[in-house]
Structure 1
């Protein structure tokens, strides 16, 4: 879905206030569900989630956390619900075999870095992760899913967006009232800069929770000297377009699609025609690229990014402590 504008327009927006009773019902149900005890996995579970609906950088955060876990001597395996895919799992993701329509786009990206499992039944997925040699499970999303107990959960926050207007869906982007979510997280990963994110960071620090600041760094970004038509179907396409401009890319046009958008032939024909008309090359995100057919992908450039922590050592210590959790409690 594409987030409505009033989600970022302040808590007193008339539409948000009108929808707030529905948000209260939705949030109360979500909070009760979130508080349920979950099954214990056979190895530590590190969860990367959001307070809100939509993307904030969970997948690059999961990749960065997995890299630290490997450096600590662990063997991480990714676990995802496989949003947007048709397979219920549990199944190991095979990039050479599966498509985004099978397992979702994000698991395909994760599987390039380490074994990845998709499963709507998270405990069953955790068992498969263990059979693949996992000594740590990195769960991409699932903060509000209680079926699997987590040893350490991080809320990933886009600093430019924060928690929006502070209301619960559909009045705002929160999945559950914020005060009911804080007890379930062990820290915040704050990506980028922005007053909205700093407000979340202040709340975290007031509760004694660490805030791990990070930024997305483009890789192989030699974009100067040409004209580009940029398109993206991610949580905040504007963030991708701004990154391109920061890399001195001249954007002839931009096209924003909803998050996880399944590109149809008509979408691709329109993008290709617009690029030809404007004398521009097509460029998109790595996450979007896995949803494109191979014949189209040959015409499309891709901007890859990686998450870099400003001060990685505090996060490293937190992860090391999670790895040392007692197996007798499982």
Structure 2
């Protein structure tokens, strides 16, 4: 695979070079754009961190818009503004999860500048967060955050397909903020509570302590989810799936009556056929003191001069 990785690296460099020289169009949308992403394939804790960033921007009185490719979804028209009722098959799992929090206006579009422009013009958003947008250079950005998982790191250090890298490791030296996800990093994820996939009642995760449960995860690093449940004292029957797996009833329908726990990202794709056995595990990012200071310093710079608005996202 290494010859293909060298070819992939050449394509990556040529593409960036073309954008840098404006041979490929780079569009500004009139408000600050913050990109969050990673240089590796697979999960890195990016979505919970994106929610934390949205909350910190909202606490400043700013109206936030999120743009995403909507991986795993296919809509009839774009841009698609995601509501709580939008099917995951149209929006993709991560945008739907972000939209259901009600903390930001979320739009998906393969052409990200078009989605960003629409949110600015139609919804008056003051800051755009480009989710998983590090490699999408057509949308001009004012700041970049790259997230790396401390457990998996950069793998073998090779570009695709010989390794997990979308861009060379040196790319981390160019971003405004490089954050590490893990217990010894800038942030890590802690379980909060579990919420019924059908209905809205919640209970503490400790209710399942010492119980044997089915755990289902279709994320970039399923083992991270299973380890979190084991650390909380649960006995886990693990069912790993591919990232962005398109769930069907058989994937979560076990005939032994045990509770079935899943990630919040997976739960949005299972609500149509889940029942009282199925629970979504909510997680919260816990920032280190250093990570918190670095994030706030970046947001101070990004949002300087933007007047706050008393607007609740639609």
Corresponding residue for 2:197? none
> Could you list the per-position Cα deviations for residues 117-167 of structure 1 after superposition, in whole angstroms to 9, with x for gaps in the alignment?
111111101111212121101111010111101111111111111111100
Matched, 1:123 2:113: yes
Corresponding residue for 1:136? 127
CA distance in 2, matches of 1:39, 1:115: 20
Corresponding residue for 1:248? 233
Pick aligned residue for 1:281 from 259, 273, 276: 259
CA distance in 2, matches of 1:121, 1:325: 28
Corresponding residue for 1:310? 288
Matched, 1:89 2:69: no
Corresponding residue for 1:292? 270
Asked if the contact 1:44/1:325 (under 8 Å) is kept, the reply is no
CA distance in 2, matches of 1:297, 1:173: 36
Pick aligned residue for 2:16 from 5, 12, 34: 34
Matched, 1:67 2:51: no
Asked if the contact 2:74/2:91 (under 8 Å) is kept, the reply is yes
> Could you list the per-position Cα deviations for residues 60-106 of structure 1 after superposition, in whole angstroms to 9, with x for gaps in the alignment?
1111111111222321111111000002621210112x111111000
> Secondary structure of 1:288's match?
helix
1:293 deviation in Å?
3.7
1:227 deviation in Å?
1.7
Corresponding residue for 2:190? 217
How many aligned residue pairs are there? 282
Pick aligned residue for 2:219 from 214, 227, 234: 234
CA distance in 2, matches of 1:318, 1:267: 41
1:325 deviation in Å?
7.7
1:300 deviation in Å?
0.5
CA distance in 2, matches of 1:235, 1:297: 25
CA distance in 2, matches of 1:214, 1:160: 13
Corresponding residue for 2:7? 25
Corresponding residue for 1:321? 301
> Could you list the per-position Cα deviations for residues 239-281 of structure 1 after superposition, in whole angstroms to 9, with x for gaps in the alignment?
0000001111122x1110000000124434xx423xx1xx521
> Secondary structure of 2:125's match?
coil
The two structures have a TM-score, normalised by structure 1, of: 0.81
1:225 deviation in Å?
4.1
1:183 deviation in Å?
5.4
**Which aligned segments of 4 or more residues in structure 1 are displaced greater than 3 angstroms?**
none
Higher percent of residues as helix: 1
CA distance in 1, matches of 2:276, 2:114: 37
CA distance in 2, matches of 1:53, 1:101: 21
Q: Which runs of 5+ in 1 are unaligned?
A: 1-18, 198-212
Matched, 1:146 2:131: no
